[in-house]
Structure 1
Amino acid sequence: MKTVKLLLILLTLIGLSCKSAQKSYATQNNFKKEKNIRNTSKGKLFIIGGGKKSKLLLQELINVSGLKEDNFIAILPMASEQPDSAAYYAKKEFVAIGINPDKIKSFNFKKELQSKPQIDSLKKATLIYITGGDQNLFMDKVLYTSAYNAIHEAYKKGATIAGTSAGAAVMSHKMITGIEHKHPGYTGEFKTIEAENFEIKEGLGLLPSAIIDQHFIYRMRMNRLLAVTLENPDKKAIGIDESTAIIVQGDSAMVTGLSQVILLENLNKESIKTRNGFLGGKNINVNILLPGDKFKL
């Protein structure tokens, strides 16, 4: 009798272990899940992969936003550890292409310090620009606050939301934080494609159907995005290179700038598996997109 009971317990444990292994890629992120619904916002996203931004790229951003004399730009520098400096240099770049400095405002929001006049002003901005730095810093100060709601409201009503580097990463709902669980000492090199390694947290959710990676080709981040693609099979994964951007309007996007965008998509979600901690999968679709190329989200 004891032998039968032990055998039943062993079989149950094996079954649970297999089930856990099959689902681990899909359950590592515990934040609120969202549905991929059609983008009905009237605004646009201008998502820059970081690095140097040419005057032509910034001028295209201004043109896309439809900025006029009676409009203004709102700079959000909260991703930076030195937000005042980040705001200063972002403003300097816009002034260099002819934008009146009086039409540029910056808001260094803190989670507990978001005044109503500032929030009302943010809602009225024609262009909201999120600087680089650390995407975790930005979301720690913004997630589910009045500023978060104001960004979404402005976007729905027609504002262009732009971001570079960390400001690009925050655009998606599932956000790559830059942290590796299994290799915590950051080196900038991603040498493996492992399960449950790359941390994903909640971003702004302006681009719910995709996950953004930045500095992509220049910093050789393909292994990271492949792992993210395998573990998040319901999302397109978009790697944007430096000095390059995607312009999102509705459910379509176009590449602009100097370099390329890599688009990854898992076409066989049932093939995802793990073995000894390493991820496997089949039929991962890879597209290398050049400036002017368009794609669906």
Structure 2
Amino acid sequence: MRISFLPLVVLMATFCGSNGSLRPGHPAGMAPQSGKLFIIGGGARPAALLQDLIKTAGLDSQGFALILPLASSEPDTAAYYAIQQFLDLGLPAGKFKKCYFEKNALSPAGLDSLRAAKLIYLTGGDQGKFMEAVGGTPAHAAILEAYQNGATIAGTSAGAAVMSRKMITGNEFKHPEYTGDFRTIEAENIEIAEGLGLLDHCIVDQHFIRRMRMNRLVAVALEHPGETCIGIDESTAIVVEGDSACVAGEGQVVVLRNPSGSQKIQHGLIGGRGLELSVLLPGDCFSLTN
């Protein structure tokens, strides 16, 4: 595990540390999933959206937040800006820890901090990089345990993509050169990998309207008919509690389903009939179940 202090401007926000009183009383898998998810589509995070996150997590009254910049190629910088956005809203630096580590290298004290955090915040970057460090490790189990015990798990951009059990990696099998321009709706093109599994039977896409990712999500919906496919725009979030979600922020959320499982493949192209599409605005709520 690599640990280094943030610059003094954030008043030495602490890292994954030990505190014997912080470990929750329920073992992993035993407690009900009583936490919430705050899934941000990337881009700028307006003050009002962050205030919603603080209120959702109850961070204004008690507890601490743990920043996981594992998706970023510059974790110190990612953690600094993630914490600074909350300091700018008046929260004290003592409420924040940051932690980054290699696969299976998180210390017992770090695992205690994960389990005890009121808010776990996942920064942007590369969702594959995040899952390489976390997937299937004790840290993964600790995140799930924190959620089961009432923590809010928040993520932006790549940190949003990892929330679901089936995760869009950002890669295309048929077009491996990354352009960010999803010009086709093709069969067996969009790579799906294992995510954190905080959201079951849902697949999350981000930067959705801004980066015109509808083609990608249509292909995913056609190939994964049992999933609710959710495209979240920048400066926008969905707040998940139980089996429902509500839109917060400034933009739109697209919800796409293929309830009949319709699918037809011809010359590498994929098609289908009867897809259900909703375009939701801030304040709108929807069910996560088909």
Give yes or no for TM over 0.5: yes
Residue identity (%): 58
Aligned partner of residue 144 in structure 1, secondary structure? coil
Residue 70 (structure 2) aligned to one of 57, 73, 78: 78
Say if 1:240 and 1:261, in contact at 8 Å, map to a contact too: yes
**Residues 35 and 150 in structure 2, CA contact (< 8 A), matched pair in contact too:** yes
8 A Cα contact 1:40 1:250, kept in partner: no
Per-residue displacement from partner, 1:17-50 (whole Å, max 9, x unpaired)? Answer: xxxxxxxxxxxxxxxxxxxxxx951000000000
Is 2:271 the partner of 1:280? Answer: yes
- Native 8 Å contact 2:65 2:120 kept in 1: yes
Residue 89 of structure 1 aligns with which residue?
Answer: 81
1:109 matched to 2:126: no
Contact kept in structure 2, 1:195 and 1:274, CA below 8 Å: yes
Question: By how many angstroms is 1:214 displaced?
Answer: 0.1
Return the offset for 1:67. Answer: 1.6
> In the alignment, what sits opposite 1:157?
149
Partner of 1:85, secondary structure, is helix
Q: Give the equivalent residue in structure 1 for 2:253.
A: 261
Distance 1:40 1:173 in 2: 18
Per mean C-alpha deviation after superposition, the further-off stretch among 166-175 and 63-72 is 63-72
- The aligned length equals 258
**Deviation of 1:268 (Å):** 1.6
The answer to whether residue 211 in structure 2 is matched with residue 219 in structure 1 is yes
Q: Of 52, 72, 80, which residue of structure 2 is paired with 1:60?
A: 52
Distance in 1 of aligned mates of 2:164 and 2:266: 29
Alignment of 1:161-176 (within 5 A): 161-176=153-168
Post-superposition Cα deviations, 1:133-190, rounded to whole Å, max 9, x if no partner, equal 0000000000011110110000000000000000000000000000001011111111
Flag the structure with higher helix content.
1
Give 1:223 shift: 0.2
TM-superposed deviation, 1:70 = 4.0
Scaled by the length of structure 2, the TM-score of the pair is 0.87
Higher-Rg member (1/2) = 1
Q: Partner letter of residue 107 of structure 2?
A: S
Shift of 1:267: 2.1
Partner of 1:49: 41
Residue of structure 1 equivalent to 2:27:
none
Aligned to 1:23: none
- In structure 2, the partner of 1:24 is none
In structure 2, what is the Cα distance between the partners aligned to 1:273 and 1:107? 46
Give the counterpart of 1:234 among 222, 226, 235: 226
1:69 to partner: Cα distance? 4.6
RMSD value, Cα: 1.1
Unaligned runs of at least 5 residues, structure 2 = 1-30
- Extract unaligned runs of 5+ from structure 1: 1-38
Candidates 268, 281, 288, aligned match of 1:290: 281
**1:197 equivalent in alignment to 2:189:** yes
Q: Which runs of 4+ in 1 moved over 2 A?
A: none
Distance (whole Å) between structure 1 residues aligned to residue 156 and residue 233 of structure 2: 11
Counterpart residue type for residue 278 of structure 2: N
Contact 1:90 1:131 survives alignment (8 Å) = yes
The amino acid that maps onto 1:291 is P
Q: SS at 2:155's partner residue?
A: strand
Q: Given the two structures, how large is their TM-score scaled by the length of structure 1?
A: 0.85
Partner residue in 2 for 1:134: 126
User: Is the CA contact 2:226–2:259 (under 8 Å) kept in the aligned structure 1?
Assistant: no
